[in-house]
Amino acid sequence: MIKRGLLLILLIVVIAFAYIHFQVHGYDDRIITNMNELDTSRWAKPRVAIVFGASVYGNGDLSPILEDRVDTAIELYRARKVDRILVSGDNRHVSYNEPKAMQEYLVTHAVAPQDVVVDYAGRSTYETCMRAKDVFGLQRAVLVSQGYHLPRALYIANSLGLDSVGMAGDLRLKPKADYQSVREWAAEVKAFLNLKYFPPDVLLGDMKPIK
């Protein structure tokens, strides 16, 4: 009897995880790997790419994951697929500043300073998407991240009303089943619960529309 009960619980858990995974991956058809697939003809300007933060080293250098994301945004900018780049990341501590590191990298790689918009309060994927819509006034955006992260980012953004497509930034780091991929399973559950039942507190503040 106990064994059957445990098997029933396990089955319910598996079904629940499968359902959440299916929901989160509902926007996978919006993931682009070639920028020429990005149709910007019907977009109102400014067309904006959102770059999600990731680890920055103590000397201010970008981690390989973050460098891939920022370099992908630079390619979109140089190809005139986007007009602005919104960098959003963690700056909750004075000694750690992902958005500033991304901003400096962009400017030193020939992106005009006025075309870089900095969000210092994007401490999570949810917060970045919410602030892009409610603080920076975006209605549409190109989300730039790795392929393993984009399904969740697109799910959150589009569920919050930010009409988005995703550009996979896998220039150097090839997709593979590793720690980041496994971590996404737990992150998908969190995203689903945040959107459906437990919305997190997001630091908003005054509107700063991107012009």
The mean pLDDT of 124-147, rounded to a whole number, is 96
Q: What is the mean pLDDT of the chain?
A: 90
Q: What is the pTM of this model?
A: 0.91
User: What is the pLDDT, as a whole number, of residue 165?
Assistant: 95
Residues near 192 by beta carbon (within 8 Å), at least 6 away in sequence: 20, 23, 24
For 102-129, b where at least 16 C-beta lie within 10 A, e where not — what string? bbebbeeeebeeebbbbbbbbbbbbbbb
User: What is the pLDDT, as a whole number, of residue 108?
Assistant: 97
User: What is the pLDDT, as a whole number, of residue 180?
Assistant: 63
The mean pLDDT of 26-43, rounded to a whole number, is 86
Alpha helices in 25-138 (DSSP H): 64-78, 98-107, 125-134
By CB atoms closer than 10 A (0-12, 13-18, 19+), residue 5 is exposed
User: What is the pLDDT, as a whole number, of residue 25?
Assistant: 95
The lowest-confidence range among 30-44, 72-86, 89-103 is 30-44
User: What is the pLDDT, as a whole number, of residue 109?
Assistant: 96
Query: pLDDT category, 38, cuts 50, 70, 90?
Result: confident
